[in-house]
Structure formats: C-alpha cells, structure tokens
Amino acid sequence: MEGHPLALHDVMFIPALVAQASDEQNKKWLRRAQRREIVGCYAQTELGHGSNLRKLETTATYDVSTQEFVLHTPQITSLKWWPGGLGKSSNYAVVVANMIVKEKHLGPHSFLVQLRDEITHQSLKGITVGDIGPKLSFNAIDNGFLGFDNYRIPRTNLLMRHSRVEPDGTYVKPPHAKINYSAMVRVRSHMATGQGNFLAQALTIAVRYSTVRRQGFIESGEQEVKVLDYQTQQHRLFPSIAKAYAFTFAGYETIRLYEQLLKEVDTGNVSLMADLHALTSGLKSVVTHQTAQGIEQARMACGGHGYSQASYISEIFGVAVGGCTYEGENMVMLLQLARYLVKSVEQIKAGESGKLGPLVAYLAVKVDGVDLEKGVEEYMKAFQHVSRLQTWKASEKFLKLLKSGEKREVAWNKSSVELTRASRLHTRLYIAETFKRSVQEVADPRLKEVLTDLLHLHVNYELLDMATYALEDGFLSSSQLDYVRDQLYFYLAKIRPNAVSLVDSWEFSDMQLRSVLGRRDGNVYENLVAWAKASPLNKTDVLPSVEKYLKPMMNSKL
Amino acid sequence: MEGHPLALHDVMFIPALVAQASDEQNKKWLRRAQRREIVGCYAQTELGHGSNLRKLETTATYDVSTQEFVLHTPQITSLKWWPGGLGKSSNYAVVVANMIVKEKHLGPHSFLVQLRDEITHQSLKGITVGDIGPKLSFNAIDNGFLGFDNYRIPRTNLLMRHSRVEPDGTYVKPPHAKINYSAMVRVRSHMATGQGNFLAQALTIAVRYSTVRRQGFIESGEQEVKVLDYQTQQHRLFPSIAKAYAFTFAGYETIRLYEQLLKEVDTGNVSLMADLHALTSGLKSVVTHQTAQGIEQARMACGGHGYSQASYISEIFGVAVGGCTYEGENMVMLLQLARYLVKSVEQIKAGESGKLGPLVAYLAVKVDGVDLEKGVEEYMKAFQHVSRLQTWKASEKFLKLLKSGEKREVAWNKSSVELTRASRLHTRLYIAETFKRSVQEVADPRLKEVLTDLLHLHVNYELLDMATYALEDGFLSSSQLDYVRDQLYFYLAKIRPNAVSLVDSWEFSDMQLRSVLGRRDGNVYENLVAWAKASPLNKTDVLPSVEKYLKPMMNSKL
C-alpha cells in the first residue's frame, strides 16, 4: 500500500519511452528497460514549479560543436523534486527540460538521462540526487530530487518520436503543440479506475463492519440493530458505492479513448487530443476529490474503530488523496477543462456549433424542463441543463470582463471560481452518462437490476447535491426536488439488502484489505483484541518509561 | 502534536472528579490527582459500545453484605476500549458502568477505580489492562483497553455528587436525568476553540506558503505571481480563516454558558442542561467536520509540497479529524440536536411557543423575505429562514410517519438524513450569530473593520453553500443569489492584502507549527532542501538494498 520503489518504472518511465522515443531509440532502450537492466523514472516537476510547465527552469542547451545537450540546474528552485523512484532506485530518468538550441528557447522536451553507474549504482559526476524525505504516504517510494551541473548527454538522447534536433541544430517541430502531454493524459485516464478501486476498498471495509457493529434500536427487540440499518449510515456509504462503480466505468471509457488517440497520433491525426486532454483533466479532479471524501466518510462510518490503524482506511486515504495533487493539481486541472468549455461557448456564439466535440455538443441545445418521473434519461437532461447554465454564466462573466477592458488573465482570474464550478458540473454529467451507458450494456438481467438501482441512487444523489443550479432559474420546482429526495431515500432502503453483495463482488481478499474491521468472516471484535495485544506497548505490563518519568513525577510534591 | 499520555488526566479525569465526586470524596482524591500523586483517565467507551450509553455492558453490582461494588466485564465486547492514557500510564480511572443494586439496573454511573499498584505500577489482580495499538494519530498516547474479573471496590468509590447509594442499598436519584453528561458537555464546549486552533495552524502554514510560491501569470511581467493572488486559492483559504475565527468565538460563548450551567446545577437548577446539551452536540459535529475539510483544503492549497511531512499539515489533520468521532460520533450528535429541534416544533404546534429556549425561539417566527443589501442582519434572517424551513420540513416528515402508524424509531430513522440537515443549518445559524455578536463587541476600529470583512465573507460563503434551501420555496431570488456571489468574490479580493496579517495574528511560533512551508521568515525552498537532505535515506548515496535486491534483478534475464 505504501507503494513500490519501482512502480514508476512501469507506470511512467516505460510508457514515456513508448510514447516519446523513436522506434530507433527504443531498439536501444525499451527492451533493456522492460528487462529491468536499467531502472528509470519520469522527472518533470521541480522544487519551485509543478503546474506551470512553461516555466520549468532546468535547461538542456544544445552544443553543436560536440553534438551534446548540456543539462543544467540554474538555481535551487530548479531542482527536480518529487519524481517517484528518483532518489535512490533509478539509474536512468526521462527528464523534462527547457530545450535551448542556437539561443532559442524551444520549451519543455524529454531526454533520457543516465543518473547512476550501471554497475556500482553510484551517482555520476555532475548529478546531485537524493530522497526528499517522508510524506503523508507512499513512504516505501524514494521520491527524489535531482540537480545537474552542466551535465552532458548525447544529442540522440532527446526523445525524438514527435520532434527532432538534427546534428547541425535544425529543429523539427512536433505535429501538435501538446503532443508531449500524452504521458500525462494516459496516467490521468488510468487514475479514474485506480481511484474507484481505492474507494471500493474503503467501502468494503466500512460496509462489512457496519453489519457486524450493532448499536441502538429501531424495531424494538432484544438485540441492537446493525448500524447499516440506519438511514444516515446508508446515506454515508451507498452513494459512494455507486460512485466507485461510476468511476470505474468512466475510467474504462477514457482508457479506450486514449488507446484510440495513441493510434491516431501515430498516423498524424491529433484531433482527439484537445477533447481528451480537457476531459481527463476534469475527470481526474472530480474523481480524486470525491474519492477522498468518500474514503473519509467510510472511515468515519466505522466510528472510533475507524480511527484505529486496524481499520486500515486511513492508509487507503493517505495513498488515494495524493491523487488530488499528483499528475496535475486539481484546481489547475479544472481550469484547463474550463478553457475548453469557454472556447466551446465562443464557438457557439460565433455560430459554429457544428464544430463542437461530441462531449460539449449539449452546450448549444436548450431544454426547458424535465419530467423526472419518466426515468434516468430525464435526469441526464437535468445534468446537461445545470452544466450548460453554469458554463454559460461563467463564460459570460469572463467574456464580459474581457470586453470591459480587463486583461485576459485578470478577467480569467476573476471568473475562475465560477469556471471551476462549471468544470465540475460538466465532468459529473460525463460520469453520469458513462454510468448510464455502461449499465445499459450489462447482459445479465439480475446484475443489471442491482446496478440500475445504484444508477438511480447516483442520479438522485447528484441532482440533489447540485440543486442550487437547477432551482435558481426555475428549471426544477420545489416539488420536483422533494421527489428527488423521496427517490434518494427509497433507493437507499432498496439497496440495503444487496449492499454486502455489492462490496463482496469487488472480491478483495483479506490480505489486500489488511483490515481487521473489514474481515470477510466478520470476526471483528476478537481479532481487534488479538491485534491490540500485539501492540509493541504491550510487551511488558509496566513500561520502562514509568520508572524514568512517571514515578519521579508522582512522588514529587508540587 | 501526537498527544501526551497524561493529557486526559487533566482534560477528563480531574474534571470528572470535580463534576461528579462529592466534596467529601474530593477531599480524599482531588488534591492527590492535582498533585499527580495518582494518575487517572476516564473510561466509558467499550469495544462494542460507544454511542449507545444505555447499553454499556460493564456492570457494577452492589454487594450489601460487604458494602462493595463488584465490577465485571461479562464478554469481549464489554472491554473498555479507547480511553486515552488508560493502557499504560494511569493507575486510576473513572469508570462508567451499569450500576445494579438489589437486582435493579440503574443505568450508567461513574466509579473511581484503582487499576495499578501505586508503588510498583503493576496492574492489580482482577484487572486486565493494555494498549489498543497504533492509530491514525495521537500515537504518543496509550489509548487502552480494560477488563474486570469480579473486581471489588468500596461502596464509597461511586462518585456521589449527584446520586448516592446508601450502605443498605437505598438509591438516591440525581436531580436531572442527564446530570452525569456534564463531563461530555464540558469537553464538547472546549472542542470548538480547540478545533478552531487546529484550523488556524493549517491556514497559517498555507497562507504563508502561498505568498512564497509563485506560479503562472496574471498581470504580465517578468516574475510569476504569488499563488495567493489566484481567486481559486483565496476561495480555498479565506472562508476557512473566517471559520477559524467563528469557531473560536462560538467556543468562547459556549464555555461561558457551560460555566453558568455548572453553577446553576449545584444550586439545583438544571434548566440550561437540555439547551446546552443540544447546542454542544450540534456545534461539535459541524465544527469538527468543517475543520477537517478546511485543513485538507489548506494542505492541498500547498500543492505537492503539502503532501510532504515537511508541511506538517497532514499531522494537524490527523489529530483534528479525531474530533469527528471522539466525544460523540458526529451523526449521533446531529440527531441528538434534532431531537431537541423536533420537540421545539411540537411545542410550537401545541401553542407553547412561549416555553421555547432562546436559541430556538426563531423557529416560531416566519419571515417572508430579506433585503441582503441592507447588511449582515438580513443574512441572519436568511439563515433563520433556511434552518426553520428545513427543521419544519424534517419534523413534519417524522410526525407524519408517526401519525401514519410507524413505530417511533422507524419513523425517526426514515427521517434521519433530513433531520441531520436541519441540525447542521441550526448550528450554522448559531455560529454566524455568535460571530456577528463577537465582531460587534470589538473596540479597536481598525481591527473591527478587518473582522467585519471576514464576517461578510463568512455570511456570503455560507448562504451560497446552503442556497438550495433558500431557493426552493422562493425565499431568495436568482438575482439575490447572484448578489451573494458578487459579494463573495468582492470580499475575497478585499481580504487578500490582510490575509498574512490575519494568520500572523494567531502568533504561532515556528516551533509550534513544525512546518518548513509555514516558516515565519519565508525561506521555504532552501529549508526544504536542508530538510530533505536530513532524510534517513540520504545517509549513503547507494542504499544497502541495492546490492541485495536491485542488482540481482537488473542482472537477471527475464
């Protein structure tokens, strides 16, 4: 759970080579990396720069006389900082540096750089590398720092699948400005399923424990009720079960789109890139945020025992919540998507609705109202409405400020909170629609019925959560909102008998969950006692510190 | 930060003696405890029972022949579990047990129980005591478990300030059924200020770091802007600054009410108890929840470096978030307050509005609309409206189900999510009103101006956050909501120049904050590097594990 030092070798280093190195280069490197003869990582973020790639300070200056790039770290903030596996494990790295050829700054490019001797593993001359210290989690990974002191690498170590520098310094541009972002797009695509998996683990523990824990009474009787029978407990957990499924479905669809993109990019077609880049930015942000919240609620749903490391939920949280920040800070991600949304609004205003991508086409179509009792299709229209309303409002706010003479960045900044709200609503629409499509495709009728209940729960929960936007222009009435509430509580109760099966169906083993509370056999209390007795403090009845600290204090007279 | 093993001695043990032991008893015990000749804790929660006090399983059976109570742990779930300082440090405990006299179950009562020998510190015969193992945080405290095997204590160890058992077994009831809850009420009163303090620490770190960190551009120029200049960053942090102040003010007012209560209880007047018990339940829940969220947002506002232990914010979170669960699980707390709210609604319906406590009197007064531009007073009316609306709706839902023939507990359960929503709104009204009153009392005009800005930010943020309730019955219009949004963004910008002073005014020292990011001198980057270089992994360039694990792998052919 705390991560593996070589994880980034597989997750970032090899995919970066696949996506960015030329076929010829990969003949040299890829096979060696796959055989782990060399171990690598992906070094992009710097101590002083994460989100603003254009301002990365590490330079790679081309020396035409020797046909080498000179890597350099001009100041302390330019140190590479955070890359997983960089500090101690890797002997190579894909390093992103600002490329300078003939005194021209050509922006961030990727280079394969050797950091350590392949035999002795000692760091090479001109390289400063080490571990960045303990973190919230992932402490089995050596996230590292890296500095260069005029460190030379051959010209041919520039990854040249999409752009090239010829021996004489001639630069050949990539076909698409954002082509080198594909590694990030890929990782963000996988994050939705990964986060759904973290959420599912926490929910498995919390739901199982909630059928073991008994507290209080509902129907009178001798025995107290399982806490899962409380509506408040169901409300804490079941909407997150729906989300864990929804995120997984959304992730699968996005990965499929990414694979399609990769094929098209190789044939020179980059039209999907903007769509997918915007979508994965929003998806990554919404999914990680809601996952972290869902895991915390799952932990708290376990009451006091959720706070014990025996629950293991706080460890899952620590790992999952990293996703809110790594691979693109969430607020920055939402604003990237917002840029795409505003552009789409501008296209509509310019009468170019026909050019809109399929995911934003709804922004051009107005709907006056919905009849929610007709089913999930109508909820989708409601989600479209609130996303459209907020996207237009936020875009108009920005465009009006711009028109009033504000500088573009100032106008953008003044509209940015409203813009992030639009991005979230747009993404939640995408998640709901993917969820709906995926459930519709399920063949087994009994499985489909349970998943349809979850889908109903999801759309009612979501619509209530974003009701402000649906009420403010009269799109939804107060009585429609009461209908949504009634449906929400109806589906909580309906899902209750299937709740344990829904989490069991994820098939986590006890070894994977590492949780005393989430044990498949339900023998929680006796195992909590056994777990506690193994605490290091219980080796002796009287701690050594008693003699040293407690007794002198107790015998001193104040 | 990870807590002190003797903290509960001062925070729970001594106050429990003060509140529950008779003057005669305290002559024997209190002075010894204050001099720390004996060290104690407060043992109430059990392995299988936290929230449902009535079902605590530990028994204290009176043996009239020896004038002793026999403490016993009938089964594994009856073990005392969680009390801080119980496992290893304390030699005494105030133990809450179900008292049985002449075969009559008299419910939970408190007893002073010796656990360990005063000289050797060894646990006594009939006592099983130990540590419960590692937790999310507070790992310097030995939260413990405790079991009794027919363990005898003198009759006079029942704490007898409010109820008594005579030598012949005659039971004298306390004057108020909830009199023994006063220890909990006291701690919950102090939690609001304590949590405000945790939130303030996290915000100090995040705000300071946000003026060091530069990323991207707003106004064009050479240098990138401080991230605190981004509206999204201000929106993440400034409403929480307002809340940290609001929670502190609310805490002070509640502590004042508690002290008043304590005096009145001693003179036999317990009328404040129900009011205060309900209020502190809601306050504890809302404050801890919003504090945890605010701290997490503060951490994420520090981007990647927020995830490093160098930020120290995750440690603050770990400690603070415990408050969502200890001293009463939040959902249970909200439902306790809801019980009081529903009772108030029933009083109004019965034509007894005159009997309402001052904090709920507004539930009987309808307001048709507000003119927000007139100022904060009008916002208070809006908060009253949404709380009243939801309290009535949720109460009516419950009462209707009851009338339709549902059992009381079933009707309650089916209404419980809506009831918790009412409790939150009622509590947030109280927090806003206390904030308003406290700011009005500030004498210094310049200080008052800044705090008034924070108050304005708070009421606009809060009203937007609960806008669904204000829109659904047409109380607020869409254009009024837009006004609230405009005001929100106006005050974010207005507070920006004072943001650093607002957090500096809390006067945390660098030693208290333990944060590289939150250093008062702002030298973040060079100290991050120094902190990283001290990482244990950096003792050698090549880790010992390289020889053992990495090299064999790199040289193996797959």
Average pLDDT for B489-507: 98
Q: What is the C-alpha to C-alpha distance for residues B24 and B27, in angstroms, rounded to an integer?
A: 5
pLDDT number for residue B180: 58
- Closest-CA residue of B relative to A215 is B52
By mean pLDDT, which of A52-56, A531-535, B246-250, B314-318 is the weakest? A52-56
Is the Cβ pair B472, A478 closer than 8 Å? yes
| 8 Å CB contact between A57 and A78 | yes
- Give CA separation, B76 vs A271, A447, A535, B245, in Å: 64, 39, 18, 44
Q: How does residue A557 score in pLDDT terms, banded at 50, 70 and 90?
A: low
Write down the pTM of the prediction: 0.95
Checking DSSP bridges between strand A80-81 and strand A164-165, what pairing results, if any?
Answer: unpaired
CA distances from A192 to A8, A12, A55, A174, A243 (A): 18, 16, 28, 29, 11
Per the DSSP assignment, residues forming a β-bridge with A549 are: none
Burial letters for B72-94: b for 16+ Cβ neighbours within 10 Å, e otherwise? bbeeebbbbbbbbbbbbbbbbbb
Q: Is A83 helix (H, G, I), strand (E, B) or coil?
A: coil
CB contact under 8 A, A546 and B88: yes
pLDDT of residue B273: 79
- B147: closest CA of chain A, how far (Å): 12
Report d(CA A394, CA A398) in Å as an integer. 6
DSSP state of A37: S
Q: Which residues of A touch B538 (CB under 8 A)?
A: 87, 130-131
B142 part of contact set with chain A, CB < 8 Å: yes
CB A188 within 8 A of CB A179: no
Query: In chain B, which residue's Cα lies nearest the Cα of A141?
Result: B537
Pairing of strands B59-63, B92-101: parallel
Give the closest of B52, B88, B306 to A216, CB-based. Answer: B52
CB atoms within 10 A of CB A360: 23
Average pLDDT over residues A288-302: 98
Distances in Å between the Cα of B252 and the Cα atoms of B358, B359, B377, B445 are: 18, 16, 22, 22
DSSP characters over A270-322:
-HHHHHHHHHHHHHHHHHHHHHHHHHHHHHHHTHHHHHBTTT-HHHHHHHHHG
Question: For the residues A513-518, what does the mean pLDDT come to?
Answer: 97
Kindly report which listed range (A390-399, A547-556, B245-254, B543-552) carries the lowest average pLDDT score.
Answer: A547-556
Give tens-digit pLDDT for A340-396. Answer: 999 999 999 999 998 888 889 999 999 989 999 999 999 999 999 999 999 999 999
A window 2-41, beta carbon within 8 A of B? 34-39
Cβ-Cβ contacts under 8 Å between A and B: the total is 290
For residue range A430-448, what is the model confidence (pLDDT) as tens digits?
999 999 999 999 999 999 9
pLDDT of residue A209 exceeding 80? yes
The 8 Å CB, 24+ separation contacts for A106-110 are A106/A171, A107/A54, A108/A44, A108/A53, A108/A54, A108/A56, A108/A180, A109/A60, A109/A158, A109/A159, A109/A163, A109/A180, A110/A16, A110/A20, A110/A158, A110/A159, A110/A180
Using CA atoms, how far apart are residues A528 and A303, in angstroms rounded to an integer? 14
For the ranges A195-199, B239-243, B333-337, B554-558, which has the lowest average pLDDT? Answer: B554-558
pLDDT of residue B258: 85
Numbers of helices and strands, H then E, in chain A: 19, 11
Q: How far apart are CA B406 and CA A90, in angstroms?
A: 66
Q: Do residue B50 and residue A303 have CB atoms under 8 angstroms apart? A: yes
Query: Which residues face A89 on adjacent strands?
Result: none
Cα torsion through A187, A191, A197, A198, rounded to 10: 110
**DSSP letters of A452-476?**
HHHHHHHHHHHHHHTHHHHHHTSSS
The pLDDT, as a whole number, for residue B551 is 80
How would you list the strands of the sheet with B144-148, edge to edge? B80-81, B144-148, B127-131
Residues of chain B with Cβ-Cβ distance to A114 below 8 Å are none
Per the residue annotation, which of B327, B329, B346, B352 is the catalytic one? Answer: B327
B196-221: per-residue pLDDT in tens?
A: 999 999 999 999 999 999 988 887 67
Q: Mean pLDDT, to the nearest integer, of B277-287? A: 95
pLDDT interval class at A268 (50, 70, 90): confident
Interchain pair B322, A303: CB under 8 A: no
Q: What pLDDT does residue A13 have?
A: 94
Distance between CA atoms of B184 and B179, rounded to whole angstroms? Answer: 10
Express each pLDDT in B58-70 by its tens digit.
999 999 999 999 9
Distances (CA, A) of A102 to A61, A113, B178: 8, 21, 82
Q: Which residues, other chains included, contact A66 with Cβ-Cβ below 8 Å and sequence gap of 6+?
A: A152
Whole-number pLDDT of residue A96:
96
Dihedral Cα B348, B349, B352, B358, nearest 10 deg = -10
pLDDT in tens, B378-419: 999 999 999 999 999 999 999 999 999 999 999 999 999 999
| Residues 272-301 (B) with a CB less than 8 A from some CB of A | 292, 296, 300
Q: Best residue in A402, A476, A535 to probe B by mutation, most B CBs within 10 Å?
A: A535
Q: Which of A520, A536, A517, A518 is nearest to A528 (CA)?
A: A517
**A-chain residue closest to B472, CA distance:** A478
Residues 511-530 of B with CB under 8 A from A: 525-526, 528-529
Q: Residue A442: what pLDDT?
A: 96
Domains of chain A by range and CATH?
7-174 (2.40.110.10), 183-352+375-405+417-500 (1.20.140.10)
- Which pLDDT does position B179 carry in this prediction? 61
- In this predicted structure, what is the pLDDT of residue A262? 78
What average pLDDT does this structure show over A533-540?
A: 94
Which stretches of A404-523 are DSSP H helices? 408-440, 445-465, 467-472, 478-495, 499-504, 510-513
Count of positions (residues) in chain B:
558
B327 tagged catalytic:
yes
Interface contact A215-B50, CB threshold 8 A: yes
Q: What percent of chain B has pLDDT over 90?
A: 83
| pLDDT in the model for residue B177 | 63
Alpha-carbon distance B349 to nearest alpha carbon in chain A (angstroms): 23
Share of chain A above pLDDT 70, in %: 97
Rounded to whole angstroms, the Cα distance separating A25 from A158 reads 9
Q: Test A413 with B47 for CB contact under 8 angstroms.
A: no
Q: Using CA atoms, how far apart are residues A237 and A239, in angstroms rounded to an integer?
A: 6
List pLDDT tens digits, range B149-202: 999 999 999 999 989 999 999 999 887 666 656 767 778 888 999 999 999 999
- Of A155-164, A232-241, B6-15, B338-347, give the lowest mean pLDDT range: B6-15
Q: Would you state the structure tokens that stand for residue B220, as one six-digit string?
A: 């064009």
Output the average pLDDT for chain B.
94
Paired strand residues for A40: A92
Question: 3-state class of B68 per DSSP?
Answer: strand
Dmax (CA) of chain A? 89
Residue A49: CB partners within 8 Å, gap ≥ 6? A55, A56, A57, A77, B215
What are the φ/ψ torsions at residue A418 (nearest 5 degrees)? -65, -35
Residue B268 is classified by DSSP as T
What pLDDT, on a 0 to 100 scale, did the predictor assign at position A355? 87
B217/A contact by beta carbon, under 8 A: yes
What confidence score (pLDDT) does residue B139 get?
A: 92
Say how far apart CA A298 and CA A324 lie, in whole Å.
18
pLDDT of the residue at B181: 65
A-chain residues within 8 Å CB-CB of B310?
A: 133
pLDDT tens, residue by residue, B13-52: 999 999 899 999 999 999 999 999 999 999 999 999 887 7
Partners of B62 in the beta sheet? B69
Mean predicted confidence (pLDDT) in A396-402: 98
pLDDT for position B482: 98
Beta-carbon contacts of residue A456 (< 8 Å; ≥ 6 apart): A376, A487, A491
> Which amino acid is located at A172 in the chain?
V
Q: Tell me which of A548 and B462 has the higher pLDDT.
A: B462
Q: Which of B266, B552, B215 is nearest to A77 (CA)?
A: B215
Q: What pLDDT, on the 0 to 100 scale, is given for residue A187? A: 83
Q: Report the pLDDT value the prediction gives residue A184, as an integer from 0 to 100.
A: 74
Say if residues B502 and B493 touch (Cβ distance below 8 Å).
Answer: no
Could you tell me the pLDDT band of residue B146, with boundaries at 50, 70 and 90? very high
What is the reported pLDDT for A555? 73
Distance CA(B485)–CA(A215), nearest Å, equals 43
What per-residue confidence (pLDDT) applies to B555?
Answer: 73
Per the DSSP assignment, residues forming a β-bridge with A135 are B308
What is the rounded distance in angstroms from the CA atom of residue B97 to the CA atom of residue B87? Answer: 18
Report CA-CA distances (Å) from B546 to B103, B196, B541. 69, 47, 11
C-alpha angle A64-A66-A71 in degrees, rounded to nearest 5:
80
Q: Using a CB-CB distance cutoff of 8 angstroms, which residues of chain A are in contact with residue B526?
A: 76
Q: What's phi and psi for B296, nearest 5 deg?
A: -60, -40
Query: Cα separation of A322 and A327, whole Å?
Result: 9
Q: Does A491 touch chain B (CB under 8 A)?
A: no
Does residue A558 surpass a pLDDT of 70?
Answer: no
Tell me what the mean pLDDT of segment A409-435 comes to: 98
- Distance CA(B296)–CA(B302), nearest Å, equals 10
